[in-house]
Amino acid sequence: MEVSTMDERYFSMRATFFEREQDQECYFKLKELEALWFCSAKNVKRILHHFEESGKVTYIPGKGRGNPSKLVFLSPFQQEVEHFIKESVENDRLDQAAQLLRLPIPKSWIAKASSEIREMFGFQQGMAAKDILHSFISREITTLDPTYTSVTFESHLVEQLGDTLVKYDPKEDKIIPHIAHHYEVDEAGLKWIFYLRKGVLFHHQETLTSRDVETTIERLKQGPSAYTWLVKEIIKVECAGDYEVHLHLSKPNPFLLRYLSCANFCVLPASTPFNENEWIGSGPFSMKERSRNKLVLEAFDGYFKERPLLDEIHFYKVSQDAAEVVNYTVDNGESVEPSSTYEIETGFRFLAFNFHRQSTVKNASFRKAIYHLLDMKKMARDLQWPDLIEASSFTKERSFHQKKDPSEIPNLLKASGYAGEELHLYHLNYANSIASSRWFDAEAKKYGINLTMHPFSIEDFYKREIDQHSDMIFMGEVSTLDTHLSFLGAFYNETLLFRRLFPAENLRWIDEKLEQFKQTPTNEKREGIMKEIEAHIRAHNLLIFQHHPIKTRTFHPMIKDVEFQSYSQLDFKKLWIK
């Protein structure tokens, strides 16, 4: 076996058994390591003997059938972790160190070794003078297919890899040319003409033409239901030459340009079948490498706009604790404390109810009881989250304090007919989500509400099994810089929970309002319709608004021009190292 594989097995064993260690000794059963290492009992014993020969551990087999075996570790675990990280730095073994940091190692140890981590995963200049930024991510990357991805980080990556016909300018609140240098619409609003730039290259060096735009639109039309709403009204695509595209609509849609600015509308090459592990687009970065635990983006020298200042960005999957210690760093040979940025996320957290299961959550009195139970001020005090920003809307600007009265909960539960039956609460398997869910469970128990907790991953979010088994779900919604387009997408995207879980009659009412929204010419009037929809959600408690999250990121002071774009993510195109 390779040394790196043996190291990974050893550290995974130590991390798994660490909580039961006493004086560097612990008892275990072979079946535990069979499951951990995915191998037979015979191979487990062989691996343990290898560790003995390496001077790492003493293995004492259990005497008699069913009796536990014993391990005596020859060095403290923390000492081994710090030594391994230092050795990885000296030998430039980034991937192997990232394997270690994916394990549940105590956060305090990672913080203690953070100078080595910053040195290893920070900005590096290689032999070819490449500027490389290393970053941690705390989970595997899900799909990067633009017709399907509905998760913020993945959508942000799609924005780096692909480009759209037009762009949304948040500072001016208007659409600006991009791949299309000009566009026009007829008086009826049924025919749009886009004139494409010449010489726009894809990552595989083919030139982008109208045929690629046509194929991209057809792919969206035939793809999953998540984004078919973007192309629903496009009935015909006409290529009037290599650099002229005509879009024919079934009815006028003043929001079409904003649709076309959506990252999911990025133009893909017609000549190459889409492969998300060999992503080909025309964006500022190309995909150099992708594996289960690592992603490398490389600046595209042939980009038709300004080339990114960084040459490469390396993302390593590690544990959540490791990801929280250092986000983006620079190695300049000095020990410098990183600076932190605090950004209020353009989104909100909420508790959703599943109206498609026969459950007490469909009862209005029960949902009202949950409304009073989910008191953000009390949760912030109990969990010691002093900076929590209460939400009652999709955005912080429209949010206001909602009065909660726990004295109403017993009568509301009685009116609902709830009799202590089991309810299934799903929540993301992240630290803050776990903490708030446990708090909610403890509060619910005070009133006899019987909850069973079910953690789930981002990968599970795409699976419809959650819809079949959940009664309530803690989740979040995050906006792009175009908050009005994101508001539409929140209700039109069938992958998101509103379309999946809301009652049909309420969705019909919301859809009618959204049709008015799309035809409304001014921001002020659209804001008024958004307020109406949010008031409808609150009046019926279709979901319970929680809070607007604050994102904290750490940066070495030498990293400059830190700006945020869609989904409160970093604009990698503008980052540079002083």
For residue range 250-299, what is the model confidence (pLDDT) as tens digits?
A: 999 999 999 999 999 999 999 999 999 999 999 999 999 998 888 999 99
Of residues 58 and 133, the one with the higher pLDDT is: 58
Q: How far is CA 476 from CA 84, 151, 349, 432, 496, in A?
A: 37, 10, 4, 12, 10
Residue-averaged pLDDT of the chain: 86
For residue range 424-483, what is the model confidence (pLDDT) as tens digits?
A: 999 998 888 999 999 999 999 999 999 999 999 888 888 788 899 999 999 999 888 899
Taking the C-alpha atoms of residue 483 and residue 491, their distance in angstroms, rounded to an integer, is 13
Taking the C-alpha atoms of residue 571 and residue 553, their distance in angstroms, rounded to an integer, is 14
| pLDDT for the residue numbered 123 | 45
| pLDDT for the residue numbered 82 | 79
Quickly tell me which residue has 């006409």 as its tokens.
238
Taking the C-alpha atoms of residue 443 and residue 203, their distance in angstroms, rounded to an integer, is 53
For residue range 387-400, what is the model confidence (pLDDT) as tens digits?
A: 889 999 999 999 99
Query: At 521, is the pLDDT very low, low, confident or very high (cuts 50, 70, 90)?
Result: confident
Answer whether 136's CB lies under 8 Å from 121's CB.
yes
Q: How far is CA 446 from CA 11, 16, 436, 450, 524, in A?
A: 41, 34, 16, 10, 44
Taking the C-alpha atoms of residue 217 and residue 266, their distance in angstroms, rounded to an integer, is 10
Answer whether 245's CB lies under 8 Å from 237's CB.
yes
| pLDDT for the residue numbered 316 | 82
Taking the C-alpha atoms of residue 427 and residue 545, their distance in angstroms, rounded to an integer, is 15
What count of residues does the chain have? 578
Query: At 567, is the pLDDT very low, low, confident or very high (cuts 50, 70, 90)?
Result: very low
Mean pLDDT is lowest, of 421-425, 519-523, 548-552, for 548-552
Q: Which domains does the chain have, with CATH numbers?
A: 3-75 (1.10.10.10), 152-265 (3.90.76.10), 346-548 (3.10.105.10)
Share of the chain above pLDDT 70, in %: 85
pLDDT at 536 exceeding the cut of 70: yes
Taking the C-alpha atoms of residue 318 and residue 134, their distance in angstroms, rounded to an integer, is 12
| pLDDT for the residue numbered 427 | 95
pLDDT at 346 exceeding the cut of 90: no
Mean pLDDT is lowest, of 177-186, 216-225, 327-336, 343-352, for 327-336
| pLDDT for the residue numbered 328 | 45
Strand partners, 553: 341
Of residues 15 and 370, the one with the higher pLDDT is: 370
Mean pLDDT is lowest, of 51-60, 239-248, 295-304, 323-332, for 323-332
| pLDDT for the residue numbered 258 | 94
Taking the C-alpha atoms of residue 216 and residue 210, their distance in angstroms, rounded to an integer, is 10
Tokens of 476: 């979040």
Q: Which of 5-9, 83-87, 133-137, 226-230 is the most confident on average?
A: 226-230
Taking the C-alpha atoms of residue 354 and residue 373, their distance in angstroms, rounded to an integer, is 18
Q: Global pTM?
A: 0.77
For residue range 291-321, what is the model confidence (pLDDT) as tens digits?
A: 888 899 999 999 999 998 888 888 888 766 6
pLDDT at 1 exceeding the cut of 50: no
pLDDT at 138 exceeding the cut of 80: no
**How many CA within 13 A on the CB side of residue 458?**
14
